[in-house]
């Protein structure tokens, strides 16, 4: 959510930003919110004048009563009573106007960084850099569900009976590799100086509304029936929510955290062959990184954060690339974002395994997260990035480390978490 003062002073900048995001239907909202803001400030000024008048008249009443001028004092009291009625009307109007303004401001997109490429949708995202050679072996790489099947590692049939489509059981060595990757991702980030955290896996609507758009919430999140609670779609939500309404010590910035959580997403729609495997599922596990920092440091942290994900996957012998998200592919709160994509030797193309974003002060403004320094109080900047989301990360690992005989190589970095194993063997 952008600053109302900025919108008031730069309406054409806000409109041009909306056009860059191909959301022209939102253009009228800028003029609408300006009109409401003008009305709100007018009501506030009148209310402030009435309060000042009430205080002045109250003093006059006291003086008149002290002088025995009861009739004049009563006339003044009548004047205060009339003003009180109007003041109540103005206060109610202020509240209503502010609610309307906030509702509109919540859907006006954040100002994107000038470096973001302009494009309508994800088909116009821009490749930045490749890391590692995208190798296609001289044997046909099986579909990941078949790799898991040869390890006796995947049971979707039973999950269908217990939970329905989009759920799974991971078994044996496959489950162990999955957990090893999560544990390695945790320690990888701790070694980068991040504080490890396990957050709540459910959050209130006030936090949800602070960290994402309404459209994203409806498409992604599961609500707990009868409760003001939602299952998290990513631990970033509860990690940022941890600081809701807080003034953090400027000396503590940057705050760098890495969090583990299960994640739950609706993933509405049919996804073809992917439904046979575990690429697009309703439940997965994730190691996330979250940073709160000074505004002037946010772009430096953005570049550090995505580079950590690249380094992590390269240590597991997975080639990756970074892809700059274009304007039309950015969620409304994001200032800049890039995806980290892993190489799929089976599909001979890259697929997303993580996303890094800086949101400027948008989340901080919604949630009231501030810091206080020598120059006063100001909003912090927030950033988030995926270290590892598995089983999607597991798919990338398996495809790039499977052998023709169905065995899977264990890279050096992962062996301490696999009991020293250099390879896991197929069971069938």
Is 69 among the annotated ligand-binding positions? no
Say whether 124 counts as a known binding-site residue. no
Residues whose CB is less than 8 angstroms from the CB of residue 97 and which lie 6 or more positions away in sequence, other chains included: 36, 39, 40, 43
Who's near 212: CB < 8 A, 6+ residues apart?
Answer: 220, 237, 331, 333
Residue 355 labeled ligand binder:
yes
Q: Hey, how many other C-beta atoms are within 10 angstroms of the C-beta on 296?
A: 8
**DSSP symbol at 81:** H
DSSP 289-345: EEEEE-GGGHHHHHHHHHHHHHHHHHTTT--EEEEEPPGGGS-TT-SEEEEEEEEET
Residue 341 labelled as part of a binding site: no
281 annotated ligand-binding residue: yes
Judge whether 234 is annotated as a binding position: yes
Q: Is 99 annotated as a binding residue?
A: no
**45 labelled as ligand-binding?**
no
Other residues' Cβ atoms within 10 Å of the Cβ of residue 168: 23
Tell whether 358 is in a known binding site. no
The distance between the two most distant Cα atoms of the chain, rounded to a whole number of Å, is 106
Residue 326, class by beta-carbon neighbours within 10 Å (0-12 exposed, 13-18 middle, 19+ buried)?
A: buried
**3-class secondary-structure state, position 151:** coil
Tell me: is residue 237 an annotated ligand-binding position.
no
Q: Would the annotation count 354 as a binding residue?
A: yes
Q: Quick one: DSSP state of residue 243?
A: T
Task: Give the residue from 428, 148, 407, 389 showing the smallest Cα distance to 277.
Answer: 148
Cβ neighbours of 273 (radius 10 Å): 9
In degrees, to the nearest 5, what angle opens at C-alpha 224 toward C-alphas 223 and 230? Answer: 50
Residue 60 labelled as part of a binding site: no
Binding residues for ATP: 265-267, 281-284, 352-355
Binding residues for L-serine: 234, 265, 288, 384
Binding residues: 234, 265-267, 281-284, 288, 352-355, 384
């Amino acid at each position: 959510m952008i600053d109302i003062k900025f919108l008031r002073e730069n309406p054409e900048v806000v409109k041009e930003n909306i056009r860059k995001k191909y959301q022209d239907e939102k253009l009228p909202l800028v003029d609408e919110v300006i009109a409401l803001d003008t009305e709100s400030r007018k009501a506030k000024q009148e209310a402030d004048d009435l309060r000042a008048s009430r205080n002045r008249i109250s003093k006059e009443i006291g003086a008149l009563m002290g002088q025995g001028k009861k009739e004049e004092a009563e006339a003044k009291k009548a004047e205060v009573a009339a003003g009180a009625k109007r003041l109540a009307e103005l206060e109610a109007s202020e509240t209503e106007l502010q609610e309307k303004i906030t509702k509109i401001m919540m859907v006006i997109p954040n100002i994107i960084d000038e470096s973001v490429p302009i494009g309508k949708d994800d088909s116009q995202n821009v490749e930045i850099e490749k890391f590692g050679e995208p190798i296609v072996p001289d044997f046909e790489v099986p579909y990941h569900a078949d790799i898991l099947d040869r390890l006796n590692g995947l049971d979707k049939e039973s999950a269908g009976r217990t939970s329905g489509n989009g759920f799974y059981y991971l078994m044996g060595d496959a489950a162990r590799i999955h957990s090893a990757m999560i544990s390695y991702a945790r320690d990888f980030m701790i070694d980068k100086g991040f504080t490890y955290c396990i957050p709540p896996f459910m959050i209130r609507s006030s936090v949800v509304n602070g960290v994402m758009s309404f459209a994203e919430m409806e498409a992604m999140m599961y609500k707990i029936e009868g409760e003001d609670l939602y299952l998290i779609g990513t631990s970033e939500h509860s990690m940022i929510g941890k600081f809701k309404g807080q003034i953090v010590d400027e000396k503590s910035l940057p705050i760098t955290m890495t969090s583990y959580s299960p994640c739950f997403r609706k993933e509405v729609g049919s996804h073809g062959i992917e439904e046979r495997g575990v690429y697009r599922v309703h439940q997965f596990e994730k190691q996330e990184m979250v940073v709160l920092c000074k505004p002037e440091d946010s772009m430096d942290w953005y570049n550090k954060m995505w580079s950590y994900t690249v380094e992590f996957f390269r240590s597991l012998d997975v080639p990756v690339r970074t892809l700059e998200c274009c304007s039309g592919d950015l969620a409304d709160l994001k200032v800049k974002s890039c995806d980290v994509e892993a190489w799929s030797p089976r599909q001979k193309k890259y697929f997303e395994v993580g996303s890094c974003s800086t949101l400027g002060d948008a989340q901080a403004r919604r949630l009231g997260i501030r810091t206080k320094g020598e120059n006063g109080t100001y909003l912090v900047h927030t950033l988030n990035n995926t270290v590892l989301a598995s089983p999607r990360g597991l798919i990338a690992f398996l495809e790039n480390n499977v052998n023709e005989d169905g065995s899977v190589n264990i890279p050096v970095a992962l062996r301490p978490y696999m009991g020293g194993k250099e390879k896991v063997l197929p069971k069938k």
